[in-house]
Every structure is written in structure tokens, then in C-alpha cells.
Amino acid sequence: MSDPAITRKRDVASGHTHPGCVRPNGHVCQRPSGRVCVEDGCGEPAGTRWGPCWCPEHDAVRIDRIEAGFAAVAAEFEAQKLKTNE
């Protein structure tokens, strides 16, 4: 499956959300849950170590969204900290 919305997969060391799991025969993180990916129009088998409802590619996108949310919260905390120290 190829999805243009899937632009990056990363971790701190390798740059992949699913670290070291992409292999020629698929994701080694795949843990089939017996479900189909919940993303509209996907249809791929769902199940990874991080979630039973998404295929590995869409799970990486989901994790990136979560991480971006945490980064925004951290940036806001840092901005508030700087304001209180002025």
C-alpha cells in the first residue's frame, strides 16, 4: 500500500516511527488483530505493537500526529516558562 499522506516514520536514533521494523516482506511490528485498518479506504490488515486498529503505515502517521501534539504542548510550556522568568 502506498499513501502520499504517509511522509515519515521515525524514532530518535533512526528517523523512523516504527524503529527497525520495515523489511522487504513487510513490517516486523505487524501483529494482526483480525481487523481491517480504520483509515477510510485503506483495507489493509490492522495490528501493530502500538495499536490494533491501524495498519503499520497508518499507525506511523497516527504516532506522528500524537508526537506533534506533545511537541506543541511542550513548546507552549516552554513559552510560558520564559514569560514567567522575564
Burial (Cβ within 10 Å: 0-12, 13-18, ≥19) of residue 60: buried
Predicted pLDDT of residue 62: 87
With contact defined as beta carbons under 8 Å apart, do 10 and 23 qualify?
Answer: no
Predicted pLDDT of residue 53: 93
pLDDT tens, position by position, for the chain (86 residues)? 444 344 334 444 445 566 566 656 666 677 789 999 999 999 999 988 888 999 888 888 888 888 889 989 999 999 988 778 77
